[in-house]
Amino acid sequence: MKPVKWPTTRHEAEALDRADDLTPLRDRFDLPDTVIYLDGNSLGPRPRVVGDRVRRVIEDEWGADLIASWNRHDWIGLPQRVAAQIASIIGAAPGEVAVGDSTSVNLFKLAAIALDLRPGCRVILTEEENFPTDVYVTEGLVRLVGNSADLRVVPRRDLAQALRSDVAVLMLTHVDFRSGFMHDMAAWTRAAHEAGALALWDLAHSAGAVPLDLRRDHADLAVGCGYKYLNGGPGAPAFAWIAERHLDQVRTPIQGWMGHAEPFAFDLRFRPTADATRLAVGTPPILSMTALECGVEIMAGASMAALRRKSVALTEWFIHRTEERCRGLGLELASPRDPERRGSQVSFRHQRSFAVMQALIQRKVIGDFREPDLLRFGLAPAYVRFVDVWDAVEVLHEILHGRLWDRPEYRVRARVT
């Protein structure tokens, strides 16, 4: 929904929200009225139904039916139900997705699988701009497997050159966590295949934020996060995706009983399930999986195309309004200007970005800071309004213009930034 012209008053921004078909989606979340929440790229807000649902599982199911709940309330089928909904969000078939563990752990599994699927090649290729956990995890994997693998980390601009015939897997985060830069999934996947490699995508900042079609783009493997744009709650289970064409050959490196075709046969021989659930390891965390289901069902029920239109309108307008209102106040856009190459977040550089973000947070405009100098704002289209953009930029202007960030308490760093 790109407006013909950007609002020039708060009133006009409110009018845009009234005309927006997605505005009712916001009511499905519990968002305090006093807060402008621009951090759904770190932790999505709480779906309204979560309290009742989790309470029901705790009281009626776990409390009353105890262990019978695995069958009576189909706890055992919950990961697959959530996986089927996530599949519909990322352009996948239900049997291709497994839900559980963290993004980091799933990445370990899939990177190991990629090496296994490409025995003649030993290199995991990624870019320096990647999220550090992706590098840590694969560095650990390479150490574990000894001489049969190597990790090649190059600046983004050198990726094409580094994609040589020794590469087993090109591992990229689709939307850059710092700048919001979005890779062309189809083009990089094609390039990987032409070099004889597989393409492994980290969708942490993409799933629920931008339209995805993993099957159309011929991707091979992917992981993603449950607690960001899928609104699954703090530390929500993550997901992993394997293209159907690879499923037969996939051997998971962490063979757990929940990935066994018949876990209750207690057979010592590991026989994986036929689908991606072979990636499951241990007993699913039913309480957090229930919360994740609440978030995922909201996103699965919404039109990703409509969400994308609104996301582009929000990010375009946020950039436009910030640059206009805060001109000369030390901000520099760190996100791509081209919306085609941008996810659902906008980042600005500022010399005092940490303090500026603390001042914003104190005034209930919640974004986050990322090293070394980024103010990062997530504009999740499911609940961020045009009026939020208006109000957030007004507060940002007030802070920058009045140097209100220049206070000792805004220099204190907590453990989580």
Catalytic residue among 26, 109, 118, 228: 228
| Chain length of the chain | 417
Is the CB of 102 or the CB of 277 nearer to ligand PLP? 102
Closest approach of Cβ 126 to ligand PLP, in Å? 11
Closest approach of Cβ 361 to ligand PLP, in Å? 18
389, 397, 300, 323: which is closest to 20 by C-alpha?
389
Beta strand ranges found along 148-238 (DSSP E):
150-154, 167-173, 198-202, 221-224
Residue 90 CA to chain centroid, in angstroms?
Answer: 11
Catalytic residue among 29, 37, 108, 227: 227
Closest approach of Cβ 35 to ligand PLP, in Å? 21
Beta bridge partners of 369: 375
Q: Are 119 and 145 in contact (CB under 8 A)?
A: no
Closest approach of Cβ 257 to ligand PLP, in Å? 22
Closest approach of Cβ 39 to ligand PLP, in Å? 12
Phi, psi of 123 (to 5 degrees): -100, 135
C-alpha Rg value of the chain to the nearest Å: 22
Q: Is 376 a catalytic residue?
A: yes
Q: Is 202 a catalytic residue?
A: yes
Is the CB of 103 or the CB of 126 nearer to ligand PLP? 103
Q: Is 227 a catalytic residue?
A: yes
* CA-to-CA dists, residue 259 to 95, 271, 285, 375, angstroms: 13, 8, 15, 41
Beta bridge partners of 222: 201, 241
Q: Any residues with CB less than 8 A from the CB of 284 and at least 6 apart, and which?
A: 75, 76, 78, 79, 99, 100, 237, 258
Closest approach of Cβ 366 to ligand PLP, in Å? 16
Catalytic residue among 109, 118, 278, 376: 376
Q: Any residues with CB less than 8 A from the CB of 80 and at least 6 apart, and which?
A: 94, 99, 277
Q: Any residues with CB less than 8 A from the CB of 300 and at least 6 apart, and which?
A: 85, 86, 88, 89
Q: Which residues bind ligand PLP (CB under 6 A)?
A: 102-104, 131, 133-134, 173, 177, 202, 204-205, 225, 238
Closest approach of Cβ 103 to ligand PLP, in Å? 3
Q: Is 229 a catalytic residue?
A: no
Q: Are 223 and 86 in contact (CB under 8 A)?
A: no
Distance CA 333, CA 311 (A): 17
Is the CB of 28 or the CB of 370 nearer to ligand PLP? 370
Is the CB of 230 or the CB of 387 nearer to ligand PLP? 230
What are the structure tokens assigned to 6, written together?
């950007």
Q: Is 134 a catalytic residue?
A: no
Type of residue found at 112: A
Catalytic residue among 108, 131, 229, 239: 131
Distance CA 417, CA 415 (A): 7
19, 5, 7, 1: which is closest to 391 by C-alpha?
7
Q: Are 40 and 378 in contact (CB under 8 A)?
A: yes
Q: Point out the residues that are catalytic.
A: 131, 202, 227-228, 376
